Each structure stands twice: as C-alpha cells, then as structure tokens.
C-alpha cells in the first residue's frame, strides 16, 4: 500500500499506542477463553474418573496417550501456542521499533506516493479532453500496479517458527502403564467371570 507523508506520520504515531493495547486485550480475551476451556477439560476428566472402571474408557485413555492426544499433550500444546504468540509479538515489536516503523504497515518508502502523483497522476488532472484523460489515467493505474508488483516483499527468513514436540514414545508408554494394567486386569476379570458363568450354565 502506498501512502503520503501525512498518512505515514499519523500511523507512526498511532501504532506504538494502539498495538500494545491490542496485544494486552488479546491476552485478556484468550485468558477468558482458556478459563472456559479449562472448565470443559475438568468436566471431561471428572466424567472419565466416574467411568474409570469401564473398559471402553480405559481403552480410549490408553489410545489417547499412545497417539499423543491426551490431556497432558493438549496442555503442552496450549503452552507452546501461548509462548509462540508472545514470541511473534516481540519479534514484530523489535523489527518495527515498537510498531513505529513504516515497515509495519507498508513496504513503500517515504516520497513514493508524492512521486507517483507528480509524475503519473498530475498529468491526468491537467488533461483537457476526456479521451486523453482516460488514456493517461489507465497508464497511471497500470504503472501503479506495476510498482506494487516491483515492491520488494518483507524478509521473513528469521521469522519465529512454531515448534511442538509431543512426549516421546517412551514417556507415553510409561504414562500408559497404569491404563494398560487396568485394561489387562479388567479383561482377565471379565473373562474369568464369563468362564465361570459358562461352566455353571446348564446345557440340558
């Protein structure tokens, strides 16, 4: 986006005030959402505790641990996301002089807009007949689009990358041992009860 000097000056004064407020506001909003999400997690954990003796629940919990989708990994993922959000905000702040640099809202240099107006758009306004005005206007718009294409993109090679590493298989297996033990015990128990009931069954 190209903009004149007055617009650039306005944005340079505005963004150092508004953007930190937005970051703090987002943190508060996400904090409320996280509280609600934690309530839902606690409800699910309570339901699992009540139905903990069910082989189906044991099997679901075991598969969740092995697949890395259990509550422990979920909390770890949320923590990584929050850290990454703060890292990105700090990165942008450091690269834009606390959001005051023109690089935060435009890749154009100061004076580009004035140069474009003087060289390409002023002749349009000074043209007398409609045909010449339309031709010059189309040429000005074509040049504007070409300038936008030629504008170098931001260098984001050092932009922070989001990384998330779930627990390793060894740790997952260690956490899954209680669920595996309970599942084996439940299987043996139900098999034994079924076998005893079969032996007592009168086939005559």
Of residues 168 and 138, more confidence is placed in 138
Please name the residues in contact with 176: beta carbons below 8 A apart, sequence gap of 6 or more: 62, 65, 66
Structure tokens at 75: 């909390």
pLDDT value for 17: 92
Task: Note the pLDDT tens digit of each residue in 69-86.
Answer: 877 788 888 889 889 988
Judge contact between 69 and 200, C-beta under 8 A: no
Backbone φ and ψ of 203, nearest 5°? -80, -10
Judge contact between 139 and 120, C-beta under 8 A: yes
Task: Spell 114-148 as b/e; 16+ CB within 10 A means b.
Answer: eebeeebbeebeeeeeeeeeeebbeebeeeeeeee
- Asked which of 33-42, 105-114, 131-140 is least confident by mean pLDDT, the reply is 105-114
CB atoms within 10 A of CB 16: 17
CA distance 94 to 14: 17
Q: Is 115 helix (H, G, I), strand (E, B) or coil?
A: helix
pLDDT greater than 60 at residue 204: no
Task: Note the pLDDT tens digit of each residue in 152-197.
Answer: 666 778 899 998 877 766 776 676 677 777 777 777 877 788 878 7
Q: What is the CA radius of gyration of the chain?
A: 32
pTM score of the predicted model: 0.61
Domain boundaries, the chain: 7-108+162-191, 109-150
CA distance 92 to 84: 12
Cα 28 versus chain centre, distance = 16
Instruction: Let me know if 58 is exposed, middle or buried by CB neighbors in 10 A (0-12, 13-18, 19+).
Output: buried
Helices (H) and strands (E) in the chain, counts: 7, 0
């Amino acid at each position: 986006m190209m903009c004149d000097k007055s617009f650039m000056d306005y944005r340079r004064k505005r963004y150092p005030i508004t953007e930190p407020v937005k970051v703090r506001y987002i943190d508060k909003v996400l904090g409320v959402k996280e509280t609600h999400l934690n309530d839902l997690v606690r409800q699910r954990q309570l339901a699992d505790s009540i139905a903990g003796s069910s082989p189906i629940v044991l099997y679901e919990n075991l598969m969740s641990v092995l697949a890395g989708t259990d509550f422990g990994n979920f909390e770890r993922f949320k923590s990584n996301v929050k850290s990454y959000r703060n890292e990105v905000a700090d990165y942008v702040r450091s690269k834009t002089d606390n959001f005051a640099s023109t690089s935060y809202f435009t890749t154009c240099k100061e004076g580009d807009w004035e140069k474009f107006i003087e060289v390409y758009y002023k002749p349009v306004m000074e043209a007398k007949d409609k045909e010449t005005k339309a031709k010059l206007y189309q040429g000005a718009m074509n040049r504007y689009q070409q300038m936008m294409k030629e504008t170098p993109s931001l260098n984001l090679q050092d932009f922070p990358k989001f990384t998330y590493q779930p627990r390793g298989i060894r740790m997952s297996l260690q956490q899954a041992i209680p669920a595996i033990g309970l599942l084996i015990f439940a299987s043996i128990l139900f098999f034994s009860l079924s076998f005893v009931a079969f032996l007592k069954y009168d086939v005559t």
